[in-house]
Amino acid sequence: MVTLEINANEFVLHPSGAVYWREKQTWLLADIHLGKVAHFRKNGIAVPRAAEGSFYQKIALLLSLFPVNRLLFLGDLFHSTQNNEWYLFEAWAKKQPYQMVLISGNHDLIPPWKLESLGIEVVSEQQEAGFLFHHFPDQSTKSFLFCGHLHPGVKLTGAGKQQLKLPCFYHTSTQLILPAFGAFTGLHLLKPKATDKVYVSTGKEVIEIVERV
Amino acid sequence: MSWAAQWFKSNNWEPQPFQKQCWKAYKEGKSGMLHAPTGSGKTYALWGGIINELKANEVPPKGLTALWITPLRALGVEIQKATQKMLQDCNPELYVGLRTADTTQSERSKQFKKPPFGLVSTPESLHVLMSRKEHQHYFGDLKVVVIDEWHELLGSKRGVQVELALAYLKSFLPQLKVWGISATLGNKVLAREILLGPTSNFAVIDAKIHKKIKVESLLPKTMERFPWRGHLGIHLLPEALKIIKKNKSTLVFTNTRAQCEIWFHKLLEKAPELAGSIAMHHGSIDKKIRLWVEEALRKETLKVVVCTSSLDLGVDFSPVENCIQIGSPKGVGRFIQRAGRSGHRPKAGSTIYFLPTHALELIESVALQRGISEQQIEDRTPYLNSYDVLIQFLMTLAVGAGFYPEKIYPLIQSTFCFQNLDPERWEWILNFLLQGSQSLEHYDEYKKLIRNEDGRLEVANKKIALHHRLSMGTIVSANDLKIRYQKGGCLGTIEEWFISKLKPGDTFAFSGKILALIRIQNMEVIVKKSKAKQAKVPAWVGGRMSFSAHLSELLKKTLYDQQSLKTPEFKSLLPILEQQQKESILPQSHELLVERFETKEGVHTVFYPFEGYALHEAMASLIAYRISLLSPISFSMSFNDYGFELLSDQAFDEELFLAHNLLTPEGLYEDLTQSINISEMARRRFRDIAVIAGLVFQGYPNKPKKAKHLQSGSQLFFEVFKEYEPDNLLYQQAVQETFDHGIEHGRMQLVFEELEQKKIIWKNCNHPTPFSFPLITDRIRSKLSSETVEDRIKKMYLQLEKYA
């Protein structure tokens, strides 16, 4: 894990793609796309169901790591309209003692009142402690922005024509874009600028890429 | 005299012996196989028999009587015309219809309301017909199915489509006759058995037409400036122009669509007077333009046509005078077929000019000539256990009339492809369709097929039926976008990934024109003509072709044969061979050459088994895998038809390599399985499988957005199956296909047994050698690593955005 200090706050980058905000004891999670597997299956495309179940295992692990107050979902919590995956999520959500907030993303089609009935607050964006939380990246915000949406990844190259494509945390001077937390999600490759910082996740470790060409 | 014989006579034609034999066998009610090349009169050999039978019956049939399946749409037009001509003279009330992906909706419904006597179609379109509810009634009068160019279909999944369709038709038409038409093949008997199935009432007829084929290599004047690598061959354009100018008509065969575009441009640039008498023909060009070119070829109004394999087959246009083959045709069979485009009249000889794109191809030219003089043609390897095609076929039946699993199972087992489909895997397939390959779970909403009360399987809902209808067909097309002018006028299709790299205003070459991109809207690329001189050329994602086993055998013989040195090709190659000898060696037949040298890119180790691209890809992975077991190391690999290269950032040493006997055939299967899993080979195979089996939904035509939540790449599916469902048959099929078709496992065993006997010559060189040059400059590469991801990352760096 790598810890960043931004505006005198500490943020821990976890290999799962989540970010822990130490001061507020908050986990930030972007692009989980729950129900995506179920949505495909409902339309006759046989994605293994186990791919969806991995969310609950991954998050259970996160919750055991640090003291937790709150879960902040940075959009695209659900992939599409409601399907049976909702009931699994509902059962899980009802058991959680934490505060939960969803910042709406472009995929979030489930009516807010349904989420609110589970105690999940739904907002379009959130201002807090001088930070802005939003689903979409935006270079022009005044406050430092935490966001998702892109499913960022980078291509690494090395001697002997080696190449790797990996998901990453993408850190510019004004924003941090989180990788997708969901299992059945793709990758959008970015070409970093010289001033951008890139932290790739291997699933086991988060590693900052310093060397550049 | 039969009606067909009289008809020939009235046209002042003399029937050939094989035509008479076909008419006779057909009259006797036989099925059969006709071996005859294109342009020999093979169409009338079978159609004559069919018309004779029509004439013999007093009442003409009401329904569809004869079905003619061809692999190419371009062929369909020609066959429809020829058969219609004969039919009309026999009975003007009847007609022959054409049903391909190009057929209009109104024409299709006309054909369904008033069925034609004969229907010319493709394997895909035949399956589309079977997806209609009333298809059993529609096919009720069917007497015969003719499968044209069977040798082309046999080695592909479209061949499996044909097998399934025939087995299915025979299940309710027990009297159905099946005839195949095929070029000469290595595995003739197998080709017949697969098509005709278990029957003893058949005839095999050989037209015994052997054309004289003359091959001439175009040689560079000096070797000094002739490239060591490359694939365009533009260096020899002046020689090609000379031939074009000298002759009335010439076909220029290229191996890729990009090469086709480039040659077209360069020819026009060099010889502007060709404007108006030069044309281009490839699979992405709009059908209207293609048909126009084919028509012009028939009328002999064009001087030169630059084309790809789209003009390989059939199309009995009158003969062109000459053919030029740019670069390696990769197989003797294909080369003969292309040569056959010239001098098309029966018994006339053919000339083909071979234009090498790089130096080593001159060796190939000599090998090809050897193959032609020995009249050897490759085998085609049929597919086995193509679960993806089976799943698609079952869906096709389900969206139409539905099917009873217990009735359909024996019929599927009767095909060659699924002869070993045991009940366990059959259950898996059914479960995949009914429950998405899971056990029944309360929460699961999987929907594809449902079982109704009487046990029939039907599609679950209209939306799923629609998805299936939109994505039927085995040939996988990448996401294609239409190209059209602002004011309308379609030019063809282009792959999305190419266009996505362009910005509005950028220019690119297409269909022989330079176009500027205006914008992309609704899955259409809007363009205007541009006056720019320079333009990007789209590289279509076409699979790379590999040498056939046969050609690589010929190549080795040629290379090791002292006699070869006397050919003009070898004489002009001499400077390069001498340099190779100086920098390294020219290997002998009992030697395996391994070269090692360093450049700023890393440590190169290059092997030269001369076994063809496909085998080298697998060998590279296998050897990289075996080395990587000794200590953590990462490789980047490239391969061509002559050898393969392992590139690494650290050197593995010679003693280590030799001491561990890494070329042993022992444990070959296990090590190959491991290396296939690690490398990209199976993943690439899976791309087609995912589309055919309906996992990757490509969206609604003209409505790209609606399906957005259902779009996902095959890559992601591959990952998910690998991790969560490794026993999935489609995932396993990808690995098995890699074995059977990618690397020809049986042949691999033989090659390693041979290699073990060879003496390894390890040469440490100072510079890249002439032989290695095409390999080390190849940008298409594969990777294999035994280091941890974390360790690899520590040695890597980021490519920054250029304008940062």
B718 touches chain A (CB under 8 A): no
Q: What angle do CA B685, B688, B690 make, to 5 degrees?
A: 105
* Tokens coding B291: 């048909």
User: SS3 of B199, please?
Assistant: coil
Q: How far is CA B38 from CA B207, B219, B291, B303, in A?
A: 11, 30, 19, 22
Separation CA B329–CA B261 (nearest Å): 18
Chain pair A-B, CB pairs under 8 angstroms: 165
Write out pLDDT tens, residues B302-311.
889 998 877 7
A191 touches chain B (CB under 8 A): yes
Q: How far is CA A95 from the centre of its chain?
A: 21
A47 touches chain B (CB under 8 A): yes
Q: Which residues of chain A make contact with B728, given a CB cutoff of 8 A?
A: 48
User: SS3 of B344, please?
Assistant: coil
Chain B CA closest to residue A40: B710
Q: Which residue has the tokens 């190849």?
A: B778
Q: Which of A43, A44, A159 sits opposite B649 (nearest CB)?
A: A159
Write out pLDDT tens, residues B416-463.
999 999 999 999 999 999 998 877 666 777 889 999 999 999 999 998
* Tokens coding B34: 């006709």
Indicate the range of A57-71, B52-66, B83-97, B692-706 predicted with least confidence. B692-706
Average pLDDT score over chain B: 84
Chain B CA closest to residue A36: B709
* B262, B232 contact by CB (below 8 A): yes
* Tokens coding A188: 């959008």
Torsions phi, psi of A50, nearest 5? Answer: -60, -25
Chain A CA closest to residue B730: A46
For the domain spanning A2-209, the CATH number is 3.60.21
* Tokens coding B13: 């034609």
Q: A48–B724: do the CB atoms touch at under 8 Å?
A: yes
Given CA atoms B113, B116, B121, B124 in this order, what sign does their dihedral have?
Answer: positive
Query: How many angstroms away from the CA of A187 is the closest CA of chain B?
Result: 10
Burial of B306 (0-12, 13-18, 19+ CB in 10 A): buried
Burial of B398 (0-12, 13-18, 19+ CB in 10 A): buried
Separation CA B506–CA B500 (nearest Å): 11
Write out pLDDT tens, residues B269-309.
899 998 889 998 887 788 788 888 888 887 888 889 998 87
DSSP notation for B568-587: HHHHHHHHHHHHHHHHS---
What pLDDT is stored for residue B541 in this prediction? 45
Confidence grade of residue B704 (pLDDT, cut at 50, 70, 90): very low
Question: Is the pLDDT score of B341 beyond 80?
Answer: no
Query: How many angstroms away from the CA of A148 is the closest CA of chain B?
Result: 18
Q: B709–A39: do the CB atoms touch at under 8 Å?
A: yes
Q: Which residues of chain A make contact with B792, given a CB cutoff of 8 A?
A: 158, 162, 164
Q: Which residues of chain A make contact with B444, given a CB cutoff of 8 A?
A: 38, 41, 49, 84
Q: A38–B445: do the CB atoms touch at under 8 Å?
A: yes
Mean pLDDT throughout A178-197? 89
Ramachandran bin of B455, using left for φ above 0, alpha for ψ from -120 to 50, beta for the remaining angles: left
DSSP notation for B717-760: HHHHHHHH-TT-HHHHHHHHHIIIIIS-HHHHHHHHHHHHHSEE
Chain A CA closest to residue B713: A186
- Per-residue HEC secondary structure of B444-458 comes to CCCCCEEECCCCCEE
* B757, B585 contact by CB (below 8 A): no
Q: What angle do CA B54, B131, B174 make, to 5 degrees?
A: 45
Residues 649-678 of B with CB under 8 A from A: 649
Separation CA B144–CA B118 (nearest Å): 10
Question: Is the pLDDT score of B802 beyond 60?
Answer: no
Ramachandran bin of B287, using left for φ above 0, alpha for ψ from -120 to 50, beta for the remaining angles: alpha
Question: Is the pLDDT score of B317 beyond 60?
Answer: no
Question: Is the pLDDT score of B476 beyond 50?
Answer: no
DSSP notation for B433-483: HHHTTS---SS----SEEE-TTS-EEES-HHHHHHHHHH--SS---SEEEE
* A12, A5 contact by CB (below 8 A): no
What pLDDT is stored for residue B804 in this prediction? 34
Question: Is the pLDDT score of B479 beyond 60?
Answer: no
Return the biggest CA–CA distance within chain A.
56
User: SS3 of A42, please?
Assistant: helix
The amino acid occupying position B715 is Q
Chain B CA closest to residue A185: B716
Chain A CA closest to residue B649: A160
Residues 730-749 of B with CB under 8 A from A: none
* A28, A22 contact by CB (below 8 A): no
Indicate the range of A153-167, B241-255, B368-382 predicted with least confidence. B368-382
Q: Which of B712, B792, B799 sits opposite A162 (nearest CB)?
A: B792
The amino acid occupying position B351 is T
Burial of A148 (0-12, 13-18, 19+ CB in 10 A): buried
What pLDDT is stored for residue A138 in this prediction? 93
Q: Which residue has the tokens 């090469």?
A: B259
Separation CA B60–CA B63 (nearest Å): 9
What pLDDT is stored for residue B705 in this prediction? 44
Domains of chain B, residue spans: 3-206, 213-373, 395-460, 480-529, 584-794
Q: Which of B444, B709, B728 sits opposite A80 (nearest CB)?
A: B709
Stretch (H or E) spanning B613: helix B613-630
Separation CA B545–CA B416 (nearest Å): 26
CATH superfamily of B213-373: P-loop containing nucleotide triphosphate hydrolases (3.40.50.300)
Q: B467–A211: do the CB atoms touch at under 8 Å?
A: no
B724 touches chain A (CB under 8 A): yes
Q: Which residue has the tokens 């429809």?
A: B80
What pLDDT is stored for residue A180 in this prediction? 95
Q: A44–B448: do the CB atoms touch at under 8 Å?
A: yes
Query: How many angstroms away from the CA of A39 is the closest CA of chain B?
Result: 8
Mean pLDDT throughout A104-125? 93
Q: Which residues of chain B make contact with A198, given a CB cutoff of 8 A?
A: 798
What pLDDT is stored for residue B61 in this prediction? 87
Separation CA B570–CA B568 (nearest Å): 6
DSSP notation for B50-103: HHHHHHHSSSPPSS--EEEE-S-HHHHHHHHHHHHHHHHHH-TT--EEEESTTS
Separation CA A173–CA B461 (nearest Å): 51
What pLDDT is stored for residue B710 in this prediction? 65
Q: A84–B728: do the CB atoms touch at under 8 Å?
A: no
Separation CA B24–CA B45 (nearest Å): 10
B634 touches chain A (CB under 8 A): yes
Q: Which residues of chain B make contact with A209, given a CB cutoff of 8 A?
A: 793, 796-798
Q: Which of B444, B636, B804 sits opposite A161 (nearest CB)?
A: B636
- Give Cβ neighbours of residue B312 (< 8 Å, ≥ 6 apart): B253, B334, B337, B338
pTM (predicted TM-score): 0.80
Write out pLDDT tens, residues B646-698.
999 889 888 888 888 888 999 888 888 888 776 677 887 888 888 888 888 76
Write out pLDDT tens, residues B204-258.
999 887 767 888 888 887 776 666 666 677 888 899 999 999 888 899 998 888 8
Torsions phi, psi of B301, nearest 5? Answer: -100, 0
Mean pLDDT throughout B565-593? 88
> Whose CA is closest to B61, among B71, B48, B51?
B51
Residues 110-169 of A with CB under 8 A from B: 154-164, 166
Chain A CA closest to residue B781: A161
Q: Please determine whether the domains at B3-206 and B213-373 fall in the same fold group of CATH.
A: yes
- Most confident residue range from A113-127, B176-190, B284-298: A113-127
Predicted-complex ipTM score: 0.80
Burial of B708 (0-12, 13-18, 19+ CB in 10 A): exposed
Instruction: For residue B318, count other CB atoms closer than 10 A to its CB.
Output: 12
Separation CA B517–CA B696 (nearest Å): 29
Q: Which of B463, B649, B720 sits opposite A51 (nearest CB)?
A: B720
Q: B438–A157: do the CB atoms touch at under 8 Å?
A: no
Residues 402-441 of B with CB under 8 A from A: 432, 436-438, 441
Question: Is the pLDDT score of B701 beyond 80?
Answer: no
A33 touches chain B (CB under 8 A): no
B720 touches chain A (CB under 8 A): yes
- Give Cβ neighbours of residue B44 (< 8 Å, ≥ 6 apart): B4, B8, B19, B82, B86
Separation CA B146–CA B69 (nearest Å): 6
> Whose CA is closest to A54, among B443, B719, B724?
B724
Query: How many angstroms away from the CA of A8 is the closest CA of chain B?
Result: 28
* A179, A190 contact by CB (below 8 A): no
Write out pLDDT tens, residues B8-56.
999 999 999 999 999 999 999 999 999 987 667 889 999 999 999 999 8
Q: Which residues of chain B make contact with A38, given a CB cutoff of 8 A?
A: 443-445
Query: How many angstroms away from the CA of B794 is the closest CA of chain A?
Result: 8
Q: B467–A164: do the CB atoms touch at under 8 Å?
A: no
**From the candidate CATH numbers 3.30.70.20, 3.40.640.10, 3.40.50.300, 3.90.950.10, the one assigned to the domain spanning B3-206:** 3.40.50.300
Separation CA B12–CA B221 (nearest Å): 49
* Tokens coding B125: 């379109």
